[in-house]
A and B are shown apart, each in its own frame.
Chain A
């Protein structure tokens, strides 16, 4: 037992002595919470619209006014030339071009049908879809108004109506930051745990101090515990620190129990630290560890449902995700923090994470040899 304590003490001293290291431990959560969470938003607030109104009739002006009045659109410029409109979208100065050809009003009145053209910059496909659907709803609302005006009715009233009333639970303001923060926290914990544990052991190998440790009577198990515990503490500290920052900076509520959250944190970190150790037993240089870790991390994070929902992924990717620990932990974070799910709701995740923990740790212990 005393050997373990000394081994742990050694690691802590090494961390503490390293000023940059201490700074990073504080700085990384700060930066992630305050910058990345704000950056990660799909909200489309301001669609820049270029208008080419070649009809210049009362109807076309009203349609343009409808777009101007919509909170989603800003009319950045207008012109009568198609070429100019196209140039503008090529230069990236607008997202969408609305063209109303001359004869719009005449056709609408005579033939009951009027056409408008929308050019959408679709490089970002999903944003393009969203922009188009906003434009459609503006046009539809113009249409309803117009019908009412022409028919002389106060408002067009259908005989039947179903009110579909949306209610948004757990995040009534639909604040995207509340969604991102727990996910980013999961990334944070993984990043810290995986890199620290992965690099720690290899560093000793690279510098050669591992041989000194190997000739001491310290047991393999003691040595690895000494390597794990300090990083566990650091990662948990960062989890707490990040959570506090999120709470202060954008009022992230923590609905569920902190015990459950941190309990899961410990179980998850055993797995992640074990994985880090496993990688480092197989590598010779820190550069290798870094690269392998980065590769794994990238795939875990991108497939883990932090930025896009797992339900939207193809079936094979969902199967792969059964073996992705960050995917379980991310779910736990969101469910506990935002919805207040308890331990009983998370049994499946618990056993999965426990299995990862035991699996990776035992593999790491088995792979580690006390030979240089």
Chain B
């Protein structure tokens, strides 16, 4: 036991001594929360548009000014021929061209019907869809107010909407659980696997294995500091989320901590497993990035909803531990439900942990090749 404590002290010192890494370990969650809370947004505002208005009559001028005063659009250029469209898009600043027909006003007065083309740069399909949607909404509103004031459809159907769990549609609500999963994966799995691979690469593993320490003790000693850091970080993330961004913790705090701890264990066991297969730090890192980080970001429902993915990816996503953890955290923090609603996900996490620990025990070699 005394030996083990000595070893543990060595490991803690190794990590605490490395000031740069320490700064990043604790700076990362804060930076990520800030970025996701403040920067990541898909709202449309001040998008540059170009206008092609060959007739320039009263109605088209009014429509153009309606569009530009909406807050969504800013004028970049007034075009004088249709030939210039392609070049405008290729320069990349303008995202949409509003082009009125030659006989716009005439058509509207005589036939009661006129056309305006909304040509969108759809290299970003999402933005293109929103821009054309907003623009046609604004144009239709103009028509209602300006041309047909007082005309109103008989009967009225009023949808009363309640946005559950996130009344103000804050995007940070959605990201806090994901950031937790990502940071815990990074510290527990990636750092652990790299630090064990480091001993192998430098040859010091041999010394450790030849020492009277048992293999289990070596692994535990390697893992313990990262476990402590992970737990601290989980708290930091929740505290910043709650006090800086106003994310609620509606459910049971003890349950929340238990699930977080379970996930940390799971991530650590993955880290150990990776280190048993990787012979160098670079390889350990690539495996971590490949099988952990990118899927954690993209396949876990952190940013992109799992439901919308093609089914093979949904299957793959079911194998990703963070996916279940994120569901659990969202349920506990935002919906405020108890274990009755998350027991299935919890069971999945427990099973995964057992499997990974089993695999790493089987793979752990006490001899070097």
The interface of chain A, by Cβ under 8 A from chain B, is 20-21, 24, 27-28, 31-32, 35-36, 38-46, 89-92, 108, 112-129, 132, 135-136, 139, 142-144, 146-147, 150-151, 156, 158-172, 174-176, 178-179, 191, 195, 199, 203, 206-207, 283, 285-288, 290-292, 294-295, 298-299, 302-303, 307-309, 311-314, 317, 331, 334-335, 338-342, 345
> Is B228 engaged at the interface, CB distance under 8 Å to the other chain?
no
Instruction: Find chain A residues with CB under 8 A from B147 CB.
Output: 159-160
> Is B5 engaged at the interface, CB distance under 8 Å to the other chain?
no
Given A39-B313, A113-B158, A162-B114, the answer on whether A170 and B89 have CB atoms closer than 8 Å is yes
Q: Is the interface of A mostly helix, strand, loop or mixed?
A: helix
Contact with A along B313-330 (1 / 0, CB 8 A): 100110000000001001
The interface of chain B, by Cβ under 8 A from chain A, is 18, 20-21, 24-25, 27-28, 31-32, 35-36, 38-47, 85, 89-92, 95, 108, 112-129, 132, 135-136, 139-140, 143, 147-148, 151, 153-167, 169-171, 173-174, 186, 190-191, 194-195, 198, 201-202, 278-279, 281-283, 285-286, 289-290, 293-295, 298-299, 303-305, 307-310, 313, 316-317, 327, 330-331, 334-335, 337, 341
Candidates A112, A170, A178, A288; contact of B121 at CB < 8 Å: A170
Complex Cα distance, B308 from A166, in Å, reads 25
**Residue contacts A-B, CB under 8 angstroms, 12 given:** A24-B286, A40-B303, A41-B309, A132-B161, A158-B143, A160-B147, A164-B132, A169-B121, A179-B124, A309-B127, A339-B121, A340-B90
For residue A88, give the distance in angstroms from its CB to the closest CB of chain B.
12
Candidates B39, B281, B316; contact of A287 at CB < 8 Å: B281
Complex Cα distance, B171 from A162, in Å, reads 35
Complex Cα distance, B335 from A152, in Å, reads 47
Complex Cα distance, B48 from A311, in Å, reads 9
- CB–CB B308/A170 < 8 A: no
Closest A residue to B25 by CB, please name it.
A291
For residue B51, give the distance in angstroms from its CB to the closest CB of chain A.
14
Complex Cα distance, B113 from A293, in Å, reads 58
Complex Cα distance, B154 from A156, in Å, reads 11
Closest A residue to B333 by CB, please name it.
A123
Candidates A112, A123, A132; contact of B155 at CB < 8 Å: A112
The total number of A-B Cβ pairs within 8 Å is: 330
- CB–CB A122/B45 < 8 A: no
- CB–CB B125/A174 < 8 A: yes
Instruction: Find chain B residues with CB under 8 A from A179 CB.
Output: 123-126
- CB–CB A35/B169 < 8 A: no
Most chain B CB inside 10 Å of its own CB: which residue of A164, A165, A206 = A164
Given A39-B299, A290-B194, A295-B24, the answer on whether A125 and B159 have CB atoms closer than 8 Å is no
Instruction: Find chain A residues with CB under 8 A from B25 CB.
Output: 291
- CB–CB A24/B47 < 8 A: no
- CB–CB B195/A287 < 8 A: yes
- CB–CB A313/B39 < 8 A: yes
Given A162-B114, A169-B121, A331-B92, the answer on whether A144 and B40 have CB atoms closer than 8 Å is no
Given contacts A36-B294, A287-B281, A294-B186, 17 further A-B contacts (CB under 8 A): A20-B278, A21-B283, A39-B304, A39-B313, A41-B304, A42-B305, A46-B308, A118-B162, A119-B161, A120-B161, A139-B157, A166-B118, A195-B286, A286-B281, A307-B40, A334-B124, A339-B90
Candidates B36, B115, B159; contact of A165 at CB < 8 Å: B115
Instruction: Find chain A residues with CB under 8 A from B331 CB.
Output: 92
Instruction: Find chain A residues with CB under 8 A from B108 CB.
Output: 160, 162
- CB–CB A295/B18 < 8 A: no
Closest B residue to A36 by CB, please name it.
B298
Given A92-B331, A174-B128, A285-B198, the answer on whether A115 and B160 have CB atoms closer than 8 Å is yes
Instruction: Find chain B residues with CB under 8 A from A113 CB.
Output: 155-158
Candidates A309, A331, A334; contact of B42 at CB < 8 Å: A309
Complex Cα distance, B136 from A179, in Å, reads 23
Closest B residue to A43 by CB, please name it.
B308
- CB–CB B163/A122 < 8 A: yes
For residue B108, give the distance in angstroms from its CB to the closest CB of chain A.
6
Instruction: Find chain A residues with CB under 8 A from B89 CB.
Output: 169-170, 339
